Structure 1
């Protein structure tokens, strides 16, 4: 790793991501990924999956013949990723600081991973790192929750689930003045006939469309397009979550 920064706050939730969120998100988003990214790449193209999580998207990509490298900051998530996508390469690193040569035809980041980058300066660093890793004319696709989503029904929302061996609940709080949100998570996991409690907090940042476009342009990206994640054929004016696609 370039810097000794990992995301241990995600480790306790890794099993839940692997068994629940990861498969669901990759299945839901994949038709849009095919339409917006994959149809513009050769079938053997080299793809970097940034904030790859438990590797479910990498698994789908490798099964289609793509050469996949995944980056994530959670050791436990990468353990699952290597099991789910054994023919892909995975690197423990921080999206803000990773350095890779310009060897990728495409870079993708999904499931609002980049919303966890909480300053525009650090987000610009991420975009610079992606730009450096792409081949000339390479494609970068990512999704982003805008500030207005966090100010809507996301704020003060609750989620949770109960399984035989674990239970979890989370509450999401957003501060519109700081344009920053926190996700408070409590997990109970059955270990050696005892229930173990874990508490963790994730932080997210709500950016505005103009900020994201400006940061992309500042590092050199061109042909910047964005789409309504709910339906890529629909207008983006009122969209809360966007896909971005741009060229190096």
Structure 2
């Protein structure tokens, strides 16, 4: 899945996303599990917002994304700030040739864009291959509650002078999946007219126990499962599930 035109307005729409909370999560888990190394692989790095924050906190970050447009934006940001951020275009389920890392992360529900069980399991196995001994694998996913009770059959709208959108959510073909049909209206600064853009995004999630079993089968010890940027285990109404795993 490529974000295509969406990459160019992504940051504008995501300006209120709590990237600093993900940074705090990384630091807290690294401290808790005594990971002193600072080499981090950010899978699904998007436009680099989180990668750049982690760089500024002293991590040596490499970013991976499937979207060439997203990587272009990330590269431009890093250059503008005078920061070194190696970036590569790869499918996270087919990682290769990247060396080894102390921490590998997949945040902002990027894992939910993998549409099949096979791709999720393949991602876990490739992540393990790129982790150093006792390295940490950190990721989050949408909960089943969020997919089925918050997204499905709902319409969300946003409107201001620069960007407006209509976001319709339909059931996907697979269990616990959703099709996000997005229509954007983006203002052209020169003409004052609005350009229409359309995107279709697919997300799927899996039961917590299923993910936990796949992780164990892929060579991980699951250290913590928490919810919504807290230390609390997931409940029935949790929306974002966090996994902290250590390479066996």
TM-score, reference length from structure 1: 0.87
* Unaligned stretches of 5+ residues in structure 1: 1-6
Structure 1 residue matching 2:9: 3-state secondary structure: helix
Aligned residue pairs total 239
Cα offset for 1:169? Answer: 2.2
Pairing 1:37-186 to 2, within 5 Å after superposition = 37=30, 40-42=34-36, 45-85=38-78, 86-175=83-172, 178-186=175-183
Superposed displacement of residue 180, structure 1: 1.6
Q: Residues of 1 paired with 2:28 and 2:219: CA distance?
A: 24
Cross-structure match for 2:201: 202
- In 2, the alpha carbon distance for the partners of 1:104 and 1:164 equals 43
TM-score, normalised relative to structure 2:
0.87
Contact 1:108 / 1:140 at 8 angstroms: preserved in 2? yes
- The CA RMSD over aligned residues, in Å, is 2.2
CA distance in 2, matches of 1:64, 1:164: 35
- The 1-side partners of 2:113 and 2:143 are apart by 12
Q: For 1:174 and 1:180, how far apart are their aligned partners in 2?
A: 6
Moved over 4 A (4+): none
Name which of 217, 233, 236 aligns with 1:235. 233
Q: How far does residue 224 in structure 1 lie from its aligned partner after superposition? A: 3.7
Query: Alpha-carbon deviations, 1:87-141, whole Å to 9, x = none?
Result: 1111111111121354100001111000111111110011111111111111000
Please, which of 7, 18, 24 is the counterpart of residue 11 of structure 2? 18
Superposed CA offset, 1:165-221 (max 9, x none): 432221222359732211000112234524322211111112101110111112111
Q: Give me the whole-angstrom Cα distance separating, in 1, the residues matched to 2:160 and 2:211.
A: 39
Distance (whole Å) between structure 2 residues aligned to residue 23 and residue 65 of structure 1: 24
Look up the match of 1:220.
Answer: 219
Partner secondary structure for residue 222 of structure 1: strand
